[in-house]
Amino acid sequence: MTTTGATAYWCELAWVPPGEVASGVLVHVDDTHITAVERAATPPPRATRLPGLTLPGLANVHSHAFHRALRGRTHGVPTATGAGRGSFWTWRERMYDVARRLDPDTYHQLARAVYGEMVLAGITCVGEFHYLHHGPDGTPYDEPNVMAEVLVAAAREAGLRITVLDTCYLTGGIGAPLSGAQMRFGDGDAEKWATRADQLRGAHAKDHDVVVGAAVHSVRAVPPHELATVVSWGHASHAPLHVHLSEQRRENADCEAAYGVSPTALLFEHGVLGPRTTAVHATHLDEGGVGLLAGTETTVCLCPTTERDLADGIGPASSLSRAGSPLVLGSDSHAVIDLFEEARALELDERLHTEERGHWSAPELLTAMSESGHRALGFADAGLIAPGGWADLVSVRLDSVRTAGADLGRAVDMAVFAGTAADVVSVVASGCPVASNGHHLRLGDVGALLTSSIQTL
């Protein structure tokens, strides 16, 4: 990733540790990291001025980049075709249609555009839950990790860091073989998956902007006897380990029928849960599942815009938080790419579920969007505007029709509960300016790139 050398940014307002908004904040940057933070009433010479409220970079913990091609095509009720209202499972078939069409070139083009959209939304790090490993019929490419490498290239071109969560995906359901589009997801067994993942990890062992982590797709896709191999691989590399968990009630029922325990209990029994693990969705948990996640210090990634789009349900986020599981956020299927919307949806969905207000404060939600999210992706030194941290600075307008009227004491509340991705006015990622006034400084017209890459599919 290109760096800029020593420079300084003067923030009109900035959210700084221990969680306060300060005016006139001068941030010194050397290449990719912050070296000093100080107060300065006016911008010194040669400092770049950042208007509005400057936040640490946002972390999109759960992404499937290729799902972006489905936006606008799967949300409505297709009554004209007589197809009914659809479900998660019918949506999945449409997703598989896109998965069949991708090759390294089209995947790179689409991912670059999607990551460009993320940058414009203030996202400086993405966790890509990656399982499009092989050719459409399951035949490995000559370069076994070419589909992961195009994601890394796309992220670098867009100007964000990436955690490639190389996903083990072996079965098409509990006891069912892979079929159709799923063929390209599988490596045969977990040992073969680990061998390929080792190659990817080795290729990026010295990179500071790329983390190679592991993922268990779900209890539907990885049999119990294969889980230990994935867990051992993650432990050996000190890597993040992510897993889809209980997104659908059917997953719970199938797991209970096959193994006599819930998906959470099954993962616990096989050592999948723990401080480096992030469970994605965790929508349909019983009280015991909440206790297992919190008791093992497992992080939970909520994706509210996807969960409501797919009618997954509202998970026990408040119970998880009170019990001690850190919460983070992801845009998942990219029905929208807007972590401000994800954050307030977390609070507002909980209000609908409980008929009570005030479950998380704006600073707590902002921490989930930033510091906690980066930690879940293996970047523990990101998500704070503080010396030693990654130089990620995201400036949000406080004078748009959505955010106008904020004062110093309510700036964070206004940004989190009223702001949107459209209010992001400037993005510095890893010390480099990458977006300004809604324009991507490297990619240019991201909308045109999205149109072109999606039309190609």
Exposure b/e, 295-311, CB count within 10 A at least 16 = b: ebebbbbbbbbbbebbe
The angle, 0 to 180 degrees and rounded to 10, between the axes of the packed helices 411-418 and 362-369 is 60
Which one of 33, 67, 134, 281 is the catalytic residue?
281
What number of CA atoms fall less than 13 Å from residue 138's CA on the CB side?
A: 13
Residue 58 φ then ψ, to 5°: -95, 150
Which amino acid type is present at position 158?
A
Tokens of 243: 């897993």
340: which DSSP letter?
A: H
Per the annotation, the verdict on 332 as an active-site residue is yes
Which one of 166, 209, 312, 332 is the catalytic residue?
332
221: which DSSP letter?
A: T
436: helix, coil or strand? Answer: strand
Closest CA to 68 of 113, 8, 10: 113
Report cis status (omega within 30 of 0) of the bond before 18: yes
CB 306 within 8 A of CB 331: yes
71: which DSSP letter?
A: T
13: helix, coil or strand? Answer: strand
DSSP letters of 139-185?
Answer: PPPSSTTHHHHHHHHHHHHHT-EEEEEEEE---SBTTB---GGGGGG
Query: Distance (Å, rounded) from C-alpha 436 to C-alpha 119?
Result: 10
Query: Distance (Å, rounded) from C-alpha 321 to C-alpha 404?
Result: 31
Per the annotation, the verdict on 281 as an active-site residue is yes
- Number of CB atoms found within 10 A of residue 399's CB: 13
CB 391 within 8 A of CB 159: no
Bridge partners of residue 244, in order along the sequence: 280
Closest CA to 396 of 381, 418, 377: 418
Residues classed as catalytic: 281, 332
